[in-house]
Amino acid sequence: MSAHHPLHPADPALLHLTSRQLAGLIVELRAEGREFGLLWPSASPGEINLNGLRLINLGNIPASTLINLLALLREYKRNRDARP
């Protein structure tokens, strides 16, 4: 996962994510995004595959959006914390 190489919503690797793994990513996004106001308390793993896309129950965003946002937050924090 890299902010410079985002996942495509139809990436076949996303189809292998379980609901438990998606829930873990949501918890991680809540923790990482809290300081930026990204809370989403009602987010949950979607049980639907829509045209081959794993969805997150947050307005039905693709799982790739969640993963890419998490990568962007991590990249930003890494760059911010690396500055003297």
Query: How do residues 23-60 score in pLDDT, each as one tens digit?
Result: 898 888 888 888 887 766 666 666 556 566 666 666 66
- Give the phi and the psi of residue 5 in degrees, each rounded to 5: -135, 75
pTM: 0.72
- Banded model confidence at residue 75, pLDDT cuts 50, 70, 90: very high
Stronger pLDDT, 71 or 3, i.e. the higher one: 71
For the cut 80, the answer to whether the pLDDT of residue 2 exceeds it is no
DSSP one-letter code for 47: E
Q: If we measure between CA atoms, which residue out of 45, 55, 48 comes closest to residue 22? A: 45
